[in-house]
Amino acid sequence: MTDTKNIRRSICEIGRILFDRELTDSSGGNISIREGDKVYISPRRTGPDKQWKLEEDDIIVTDMCKVPILGEKDAISRESATHYYIYHNFSDVRSVIHGHPIFIMSFGAAHMDLPSISEGTRGILGEQPITNVPEVLPGSIEQAEEVVKNFQKRRNIDSEAPLICSLPYHGTFAAGGNINDAFLFTEVANNCAKILVYRQTMFSGDPKADFSIHRRFSKEEIASIEESKDVCETGFVYRDAFGKDTIYDNGKVDTNQNLIAKITEEVIKKIK
C-alpha cells in the first residue's frame, strides 16, 4: 500500500532544501514523484505565496493524465506538462525537479553548455555536458517536448545517462529514479557551475593556473567506488576486539574467535 503521507512529506522537505541552497527561488520551481500510476506534484505559486514552506496536504495527487485524485486541477504546478511528458517517455523516471539554480542559469544566460568538470559531476552525471534546450515559453507543451528531446539525446549517447538539462534564462529540469537522485543531479551540476565561475574569477589570466583534467575515470572505476575495500592484507597480524592476536584472512575470522562461537561456548559452559 502506498504511503501517501511519506511521499508528500518528502516533496515538502526537498522543496525546502532546494530553496535554502538557492537551487530554486521564490519565483518558482516544482517537484513531482511518480508512484505506480499516480503522480504527486507541488502546487503552483509555491515560491511566491509560501516561500517553499509546503505542508503535506498542499501536495496534489493525480493519475498519469493529470486528472486529480487529491486536490484541484487548476492548482497543479504551471510547469506540470513537462513533468508528465517526462514520465510518459522515460519509464525508469520516478521523480522530476525543476529548479532555478543560479550558477547553472549563468551558463544558460550565455547560451553555453555546462561542461562536466568536477569529479563529482563526472562521477554522477558522466562526461556529457549539460546542454540547453531552445528558448521556449515556460510551462508550454513546446517546453515539455524540447526537454524530452534533450533527455532522449543524452540517452542516445549513453543509455544509462542521468537526465538533466538547462533552460536558457529560466532554470533546469532533472529527472531520476527517485527524488534523491533528481535533487543530487541538480545540486552536483550547480556545484560544477559554481566551481567554473569561481575558477574564472579567481585564476583567469594566471599563467600558473592548470585547468586541465589530469585523469578521466572510466565507468568501471566510478562503479568500483561503491565496492567495499579490505584495509589489511591477508596475513596481517593484529589485536582483535577481544584483545587476542589474530591473523587477518581476507575478512574471515577463525571460528574459535568468532563472536557467535564465543557466546555459544559460554552458554554451553553455563548449562553444564
Look up the CATH number of the domain holding residue 95. Answer: 3.40.225.10
Domain end among 149, 183, 203: 203
Boundary of a domain, candidates 203, 223, 251: 203
DSSP state at residue 43: B
165 and 263 part of one domain: no
| Crossing angle for the helix pair 179-203 and 4-20, to the nearest 10 degrees | 10
Q: Is 59 helix (H, G, I), strand (E, B) or coil?
A: coil
Alpha-carbon distance of 150 to 139, in angstroms, equals 16
Is the same domain home to 143 and 259? no
pLDDT of residue 237: 86
Q: Is residue 230 part of a domain?
A: no
Residue 267: what pLDDT? 62
pTM for this predicted structure? 0.85
| Segments forming the whole domain that contains residue 246 | 237-271
The CA distance from 52 to 26, in Å, is 7
User: What's the pLDDT at 255?
Assistant: 45
- State residue 64's pLDDT score: 97
Q: Are residues 178 and 242 both part of a single domain?
A: no
- Are residues 149 and 257 part of one domain? no
Amino acid at position 105, single letter = M
Distance (Å, whole) CA 1 – CA 31: 22
Residue 1 has a pLDDT of 41
Residue 34 phi, psi dihedral angles, 5° rounding: -100, 130
Provide the number of structural domains found in the chain: 2
Whether residue 257 sits in one domain with residue 165: no
Same domain, 263 and 191: no
37 and 100 part of one domain: yes
> Which of helix, strand or coil describes residue 129?
coil
229 belongs to a structural domain: no
Q: Are residues 144 and 68 in the same domain?
A: yes
Backbone φ, ψ for residue 188 (5° rounding): -65, -40
Same domain as 267, residue 147: no
Strand-by-strand arrangement of the 68-70 sheet: 68-70, 60-63, 38-41, 30-35, 95-99, 171-176, 163-167
Q: What is the pLDDT along the chain (272 residues), one digit of tens a residue?
A: 456 679 999 999 999 999 999 999 999 999 999 999 999 999 999 989 999 999 999 999 999 999 999 999 999 999 999 999 999 999 999 999 999 999 999 999 999 999 999 888 999 999 999 999 999 999 999 999 999 999 999 999 999 999 999 999 999 999 999 999 999 999 999 999 999 999 999 998 898 988 888 888 887 887 888 888 888 888 888 888 888 888 888 766 554 455 555 556 656 666 65
Which triple of cell numbers denotes residue 140? Answer: 508550454
- Pairing state of beta strands 95-99 and 38-41? unpaired
